[in-house]
Amino acid sequence: MNEIDKAKEIYENLQKTTPIDSFNDLALCYHQLGCIYRLKCNFDDALSNLQKAVEIMQKSRSQDHPDLATPYHNIALVHRSAGRNSEALLYYEKSLGLMQNSLEVPYQYLAGTHCNIAATYQALGQYSKALS
């Protein structure tokens, strides 16, 4: 069993044993599973888990809370990995909007998201938008 499979097993066990009202811990389990499934190129399960993480997070936070930027960014990464660049852009923009409205987000995250947006525009052949 490789390290990714071990991590998957750990998060699946945590997910099963985490109380339903422990929103932060449960959302983290779904989020991490989504990231693991993306690494395994299982994009449907990745999206399902990441979207579930967002749903859980929205139960304890506002719709525009900066904590949602990370799962939105990872949803964008899944779409990009699956070749769905237009969908990826929507989630990168959501993530970026949440980060820009927060004073707590490190500039490296903003820069990384801008780079991912540019790369996605490049993949779509929209070079002028990629440069802007």
Identical fold between 1-60 and 63-132: yes
**Tell me: the pLDDT tens digits for 80-127?**
999 999 999 999 999 999 998 887 778 888 899 999 999 999 999 999
Sequence ranges of the domains in the chain? 1-60, 63-132
The answer to whether residue 12 scores a pLDDT higher than 80 is yes
Strands (E), 58-108: none
Q: What is the dihedral of CA 78, 14, 55, 121, to 10 degrees?
A: -10
What single letter denotes the amino acid at residue 24? Answer: N
For domain 63-132, the CATH class is mainly alpha
pLDDT band at 132 (very low <50, low <70, confident <90, very high): confident
pTM, full prediction: 0.92
Query: Cα(42)–Cα(34) distance, rounded to whole angstroms?
Result: 9
**Tell me: the pLDDT tens digits for 32-62?**
999 999 999 999 999 999 999 999 999 988 8
Q: Would you give the DSSP letter of residue 62?
A: -
For domain 1-60, the CATH class is mainly alpha
68: tokens are 């949602």
